[in-house]
Structure 1
Amino acid sequence: MTNYLNYDLYDLDLSAVPTNRELKNLVLNMSNRSILVMEDIDCTIKLQNRKEEEEEDNMERVKKESKVTLSGLLNAIDGLWSCCGEERIMVFTTNHKEKLDPALLRPGRMDMHIHLSYCTFSAFKQLAFNYLRISHHNLFQEIEGLLREVQKLQESCKKKINSENCLPDIVKFLHNKKMVEQNEPKLSVIME
């Protein structure tokens, strides 16, 4: 996105931000035309659903872990602090959307929710073109087959929740990959 839009990129680890005031200052000091990325927002600080927090007996422990609060984050992304710049995009990543407070997920704060699944061959071709300027290559067919195999393995593991059923599929897949590699001709490099 930053390459396509020619925006500056900021990576913010909320666990490294000591206070709401510091978070405010960081957001205010971002340049215009920039993207702020907060990866694994469900893991960095305790931003779980407020209902879950209310049920916890050890609320004091949560407060001591980080001085950045849900309220402080909400103000940074959607409050008065957020309107001091122009053309800013904020990207949050999570593996557990259900752990986040609904106030964080509502439109106006998070306008788009994009599920990123496993890499498809179409996505791979786009990445190869964007970063390597390659639109065709003799290895594309092999890569397409490998991506299809990996996706089948991942889907198989999803279906078989019990690890006892999934692990044999992984072993079989790895044995097949090993056999293919052993049967491939090896290239020798001769340096003079």
Structure 2
Amino acid sequence: MHPDEKEAVIDDLMAFQESKEYYAKVGKAWKRGYLLYGPPGTGKSTMIAAMANFLDYDVYDLELTAVKNNTELRKLFIETTGKSIIVIEDIDCSVDFTGKRRQDKKASSDKDSDNDDKPKLPIEPEKDDATKVTLSGLLNFIDGLWSACGGE
């Protein structure tokens, strides 16, 4: 990492760490988010570990595919301490946020059914919004609407 970029991240982390009272005063959840992206081996995990060591925070790796719904997601976030880094890897591949994959899957199965006369097994009904993690639920956490610790 370029030394200037490293210094900027450290300055931002220090400013964040010292701003808890300000966040409380303005009524915002005391949170900081970073979007790290890039191909494997470019230092994303190393960056997370360095940030956790610098701040003396715990790191939690959240596997979105293991979370059943927004209620469970909210409970997980509330149970973490205020001194936590929550990592959500490959978020774009973890959950069908747009319904596009569902539509593509249905279109593909419709196309397949046109091509042969074999009997088809019934397709599992689509799960409704109450039984899945939604983009809205995830953004509510990221934006601070769901507090990550009781003191916020």
Band of TM-score, shorter chain = 0.3 to 0.5
Larger gyration radius, structure 1 or structure 2: 1
Richer in helix (by share): 1
